[in-house]
Chains A and B, each alone.
Chain A
Amino acid sequence: MVKTDVKIGGLNLKNPVLTASGTFGYGLEFADFVDLNKLGGFIVKGTTLNHREGNPYPRSAETPMGMLNAVGLQNKGVDYFAENIYPQLKDLDTNVIVNVSGACIEDYVACAEKVNALDKIPAIELNISCPNVKQGGMAFGVQPQSAAEVVAAVRKAYDKTLIVKLSPNVTDITEIARAVEGAGADSVSLINTLLGMAIDSEKRRPVLSTITGGMSGPAVKPIALRMVWQVAKAVKVPVVGIGGITNGRDAVEFLLAGASAIEVGTANFMNPAVTGEIVDYIEDYLVRHNMSSVDELIGALQV
């Protein structure tokens, strides 16, 4: 038996496979294709203090080996989550993590406090990197000082595992990572989407209603790998790798680059069963390489 469990702050994952917020709904949408209890955990869609309608349609554009989205954090608010969704998730034998977003520090804190009260939610992922909202979101995550401020405020209000999701739309992501580590983050996850754009040349109009949106998918993987590699060397807290992971081999690459866990995002749209397949691949990989534990893989890149 190989050991696949990893630790992220106070969070014990039975394996390093998580899902990226916004790509896996509330998990239940994928229950026909994946045994949710087989995953290390899953991160539910971006949740805010109040209901949000999100951005107008069109909200997505396919690009070569990737896609842009501009959903804009459509969700029914944290109270709706607590009353209607949480009861359906709380008895699962996996880690359900809530992605928390806000327009101002007070909203982040109030939302995190409400999630803190939910016993069976062991962690939040603080989204300071959403490129698709006018206020808050990425605005916090692109400056070390504002990133540290929001993390410090939430840290005071939230006593379970705090993962902070970082934006790649910055000059030096290690600077932001160090700032949020200093403000009390238990872990950093990266990367959120890259700001991009698509144009319909026949109509001479942008494809997205918001003109720009967040790019994800296999096309962003080399950038994500590079950033995970840089951040893993720059901070002491565990890193969660995200960005274009489409199969087990991609997942192993992120672990080698220094990630302690990974999130699968856009690939869920290509193959809704992919997360379970990645769990199996990692186990097989460890056996094939005579490793007894996934720990041996984390940051094991030979350079």
Chain B
Amino acid sequence: MKKHLVDLRINKVERLNETCVLLVMTSDEALPACRPGQFAELRVDETPSVLLRRPISIHSFDAEKNEIGFLVQVVGDGTRWLGSLSEGDKVNVLLPLGNGFTILEDKSARVLLVGGGVGSAPLYGLAQELKRIGQDFAILIGARAAKDLYRRDEFEALGRVEYTTEDGSLGEKGYVTNHSLLKEKFDYIYTCGPKPMMMAVAKYARENSIPCEASLENKMACGLGACLCCVEDTTSGNRCVCTDGPVFSIDELKW
């Protein structure tokens, strides 16, 4: 898959809460096709303390509108700069990167998407695709509190969505792995979120013999498989999350 280095223009900025921003970008040229679960590396300008690009998962991709969406959680100087951008601003973007989620051959399989906080971002694009191809799916998203659950209306427009919050402010109180939805039968699980959550989901999947894939977010530099900084210790040795991932089958992970 050819990778592109392009200047994208911000079409829309939506501040979802005090730390999370949705950036929708476009280009005069056709955007390269992106698959659910792939990511991009966004160049951060004008900040002397930030050297490297910021890897951000692709939240949504609309070939018809020629738009790509990113959910950016402000955690440091780089994401703070990205979060302060306005409509019309340009961002230099390297994409599409990584492998993306596996789309199953078996369209009768029932799949579960489990997200945590801003980690739910790539599951939106995945759910869009699953809806388009007619795969039966349910979405389960967990967060600390209701305010940390992003784009609920948009997720709910795609299918069934259940929630857990640690403070009980929305959905069932507790963690995703305690949710009653898991009593139902699923044939495949996709997960993205904080590592402890994904490890708990992987444990549940193993115990119930459900194939599962997880999207990792190891600290990254080049995004191209050249620097070998973002490696995950897998069953076949150190592998680059940027090119061999970010999506791995849990069978490959030593969790």
Contact = CB atoms under 8 A, between A and B. Distances in A.
A53 B239 CA distance: 10
A266 B226 CA distance: 11
Nearest to B94: A272
A52 to B, nearest CB: 10
A56 B50 CA distance: 24
Interface residues of B, number: 31
A141 B218 CA distance: 32
Contact of B227 (A53, A58, A60): A60
B232 interface: yes
B33 interface: no
A136 B231 CA distance: 23
Contacts of B2: 32
B51 A54 contact: no
Given A25-B224, A60-B219, A62-B50, 16 more contacts: A22-B227, A30-B226, A53-B238, A54-B228, A57-B230, A59-B228, A59-B229, A59-B231, A60-B227, A63-B51, A65-B49, A71-B228, A268-B226, A269-B223, A272-B5, A272-B94
A29 interface: yes
Given A57-B231, A69-B229, A218 B51 contact: yes
Which one of B5, B48, B228, B237 has the greatest number of beta carbons of chain A within 10 Å? B228
Interface in B50-95: 50-53, 92, 94
B233 interface: yes
A23 interface: yes
Given A53-B237, A273-B5, A69 B227 contact: yes
A45 B227 CA distance: 9
Contacts of B16: none
Contacts, number: 96
Contacts of A62: 50-52
Interface string B1-13: 0111100000000
B170 interface: no
30 contacts: A22-B227, A22-B228, A25-B222, A25-B225, A29-B222, A29-B224, A29-B225, A29-B226, A32-B3, A32-B5, A33-B5, A45-B226, A54-B231, A57-B219, A57-B233, A58-B218, A58-B219, A60-B219, A62-B51, A62-B52, A64-B48, A65-B48, A67-B52, A67-B221, A71-B229, A266-B51, A269-B222, A269-B227, A270-B43, A270-B51
